[in-house]
Amino acid sequence: MRPALKAAFTMTALLMAAGCVKLQAPDKPIEINMNLNIRHEVIVKLEKDVQDLIQSNPGVF
């Protein structure tokens, strides 16, 4: 017997033994938290700007 067919028979037997399976949508909407941290990008840009400033004005520091 092929593995996929054997797995389908096994799953069907388990579902029949477990009784009724009920699928329903949740009462509340699904919430996806999209808090993103952009601190890394800001620091990298600031470091690049400072590095360019120091290279263009070596006598300032």
pLDDT number for residue 45: 75
Which single residue is written with the structure tokens 């017997």? Answer: 1
Q: What's the N-to-C CA distance of the chain in angstroms?
A: 77
Euclidean distance between CA atoms 44 and 61, whole angstroms: 21
Residues 15 and 21: beta-carbon distance below 8 Å: yes
pLDDT number for residue 41: 64
Q: Is the pTM of this model over 0.95?
A: no
24 pLDDT above the threshold of 80: yes
Determine the residue type at 51: Q
Tens digits of residue pLDDT in 25-58: 889 998 888 877 666 666 777 788 888 888 888 8
